[in-house]
Homo-oligomer: A and B are copies of this chain.
Amino acid sequence: MAVIEDELSLVFSALADPTRRAILERLAHGDATVNQIAEPFAMTQQAVSKHLKVLERARLISRTRTAQSRPCVLDTERLDAVAGWIERHRRIWAGRHDRLDRHLAALQATQRRDGETPR
C-alpha cells in the first residue's frame, strides 16, 4: 500500500525482524559473505539473501563485489537518523512526564532487559 516509503520507515521495518538484527550483530563483529551470515540460521541461503536486500534497501548495510563473493559492510549513518528520532521523542516525553507528575510510571524504569529470541 505504501508505494513511497520514507527512510525512517524503511529503517524501522528493517530492524523489526530478529533475524535481521542478528545479521547486523554478526556484521558488527566484522564483514562477512552471504554464506558466512547464513550459516547459523535455520533457513535457506535465499531467505538470508532476501533479508540482506531489505537491509541494503534501508541502507543499513552496503555491499561490494569482490570476485564471486558479495561481502556485507555496515553502514552507520542510517542508525544515526533513527537514534536522532528516538532521542528527540524521549526528551519530549520525559519533559511531559515531569510536568504532569503522573502516576509512578518511573517505577517501571527498573526493567531494562530486552530479550531476543531468534529462530
On A, residues with C-beta under 8 Å from B are 2, 4, 6-9, 12-13, 15-19, 21-22, 24-26, 28-30, 40-42, 73-77, 79-87, 89-90, 92-94, 96-97, 101-102, 104-105, 108-109, 111-119
B12 contacts A81, C-beta separation under 8 Å: no
Interface of A is mostly: helix
Bound form: Cα–Cα A16–B117 in Å: 17
Can you name 20 A-B residue pairings with CB atoms under 8 Å?
Answer: A4-B117, A6-B18, A8-B114, A13-B16, A16-B16, A18-B116, A19-B118, A28-B93, A29-B104, A40-B118, A73-B102, A76-B94, A77-B109, A79-B90, A80-B112, A81-B112, A81-B114, A83-B86, A113-B113, A113-B114
* Chain B residues within an 8 Å CB radius of A42: 119
Residues of B within 8 A of A28 (CB): 89, 92-93, 96, 108
- The answer to whether B93 and A79 have CB atoms under 8 Å apart is yes
Check B77–A118 contact: CB distance below 8 A. Answer: no
- Take A93-B76, A118-B119 as given contacts and tell me if A16 and B12 are in contact as well, using a CB distance cutoff of 8 Å: yes
